[in-house]
Amino acid sequence: MKTIVPTYEITYTRDRIAASFIVTLNGIERNIPHNLFLSLFPRIDRRNRFASVEASAAELEALSVIADISDPLSSRITYELSERHGCNYVVTHVTSGQQLVILPGAFRKIAGVSHRAVSGTSTLSAAKLAEVGFIIEGGNNNDCNYQYANYA
């Protein structure tokens, strides 16, 4: 007698720059290192940038464990150099929708973006997100933003 194993369809995006795959687990975008994703799903077509793969419950559990170990709070951002905002970068946190304006030199140093980049997307760790100025769920460790408020 054959046993029917339930499967789940996981949609993924391949990020060549970060050498990772981006998947959504429990409503949160997660960054999975390239080699670990391919070891878990060797059957995928590596040429596709956007695709989906069927995963068993065991594969899904392994994927979530890998996501928690590799970078538990990494998130995707978009950025654009805006003349309207004084030739500064307008950076948007995709998951929360937060948006801020940051000086080009500071953003390039924190995010590791090329000086020629005008717009694009990137994935940053929770520490880097806090350094840019986003408010991260569970608290923000970047207290240096508040040191200038006490000057008076």
Q: What is the pLDDT of residue 48?
A: 86
**Kind and range of the H or E element at 67?**
helix 57-70
Q: Is the pLDDT of residue 88 over 90?
A: yes
- DSSP-assigned letter for residue 121: E
pLDDT mean over 102-117? 90
Most confident of 15-24, 26-35, 88-97, 122-131: 88-97
Q: Is the pLDDT of residue 56 over 90?
A: no
Task: Give the CA angle between residues 8, 30, 42 to the nearest 5°.
Answer: 55
User: Whole-model pTM?
Assistant: 0.50
CA distance 149 to 135: 17
Q: What is the pLDDT of residue 101?
A: 94
Q: What is the pLDDT of residue 89?
A: 95
pLDDT mean over 74-102? 89
**CA distances from residue 85 to 23, 40, 90, 102 in whole angstroms, order as listed:** 32, 44, 8, 9
Q: Is the pLDDT of residue 142 over 50?
A: no
